[in-house]
Amino acid sequence: MYKVLVVDDEDKIREVIREYAEFEGYDVTEAVNGFEAINLCKENDYDIIIMDIMMPKLDGFTASKEIQKYKNIPILMLSARGEEYDKLYGFELGIDDYVVKPFSPKELLARLNVILRRNSKFHNSVTDDYFKYKGLEIDMIGRNVYVEGIKIDLTPKEYDLLFYLVKNKNVALSREKILTDVWGYDFYGIDRTVDTHIKMLRNNLGTYRYLILTLRGMGYKFEIPN
C-alpha cells in the first residue's frame, strides 16, 4: 500500500484528497504546514507528498527543500497561482509535478498515480548499475555521485535525469523524449524545464560538465570521448 502525505492548511482540500486517495487504496497522512510535514518525514517514510505552496509558518517550497536534504520522496506541488515562474522554481527544486487550484480530484489522483508508477519503474530499472569515467563515479543503486572522490548532492530530479542520460549514453535525446521518460508524461508548455535541470546538473558535475553535450535545436547527449 502506497503511503501519501498531504500537506495543506485548508481542511477541505485535505479532506477531498484523502477521500479520493483512500478510495484507491492509499494510506493517507495529513499535515497542516511545512514544519509538521518536515517532522513527519523525519519520523516516517512516504511514497509521495502532495504539498501546498502557500501555507502559514513555513511554505511548501522551503519545506520541500528541507525534506530533500535527507529523504528522496517524489513531490506533487499544489498552488493557487499558475505563473510560469512558480512552476519553473518548483521544478528547479526537483518536484515531480505541479497542479493549480482549483483542481479536479480525479486529475490530481491520475497525476499522482503516474508519478508513483514512474518512480517504481525507474528505480527498479537501475538495479546493479554503476558508472565510472576518470574521476566521475555514479552509483545508481545507492544514488550517490562522486567527482574526484567528493560526494556531490543533487536534487531527486537531478539524480533521475543524470541516471537517464548515463543509461542512454551516446544517444541523441530530444527535450520531448527526456520530458516524457524522466518526468513520466507528455509535459506541456515548459521545455525550459529540461534546460534548467541540465544547467544545474552541469554545474554540479564541475570539470565533467562537458560530458553533457547540447544538440542545437534538438536536445542533449551524454557522450564519452573516444
CATH number corresponding to 3-124: 3.40.50.2300
Task: Give per-residue pLDDT as tens, 77-124.
Answer: 998 876 677 777 878 788 888 898 888 999 999 989 888 877 665 554
The domains of the chain are located at 3-124, 128-222
- Count of beta carbons in the 10 Å neighbourhood of residue 146: 14
Q: Strand pairing of 3-7 and 27-31?
A: parallel
C-alpha cell at 219: 536536445
CA distance 153 to 34: 22
- Through-space distance between the first and last CA atoms of the chain, rounded to whole angstroms: 47
Which has the higher per-residue pLDDT, 89 or 46? 46
Which has the higher per-residue pLDDT, 5 or 86? 5
For residue 221, the model assigns a pLDDT of 95
pLDDT at 182 over 70: yes
Q: For a pLDDT cut of 70, what percent of the chain falls above it?
A: 91
Class of the CATH domain delimited by 128-222: mainly alpha
Cα atoms found within 13 Å of the Cα of residue 52, Cβ hemisphere only: 26
For residue 191, the model assigns a pLDDT of 64
Mean pLDDT of the chain: 86
For residue 93, the model assigns a pLDDT of 80
Task: Give per-residue pLDDT as tens, 157-166.
Answer: 899 999 999 9
> CA angle at residue 205 from 126 to 150, to 5 degrees?
85
Mean pLDDT across 31-60: 92
Same fold, 3-124 and 128-222: no
- 121 φ, ψ to 5°? -65, -45
CA distance 201 to 196: 9
| Contact status, residue 78 vs residue 52, Cβ threshold 8 Å | yes
Exposed, middle or buried, 193 (CB in 10 Å: 0-12/13-18/19+)? buried
Task: Give per-residue pLDDT as tens, 198-212.
Answer: 999 999 999 999 999
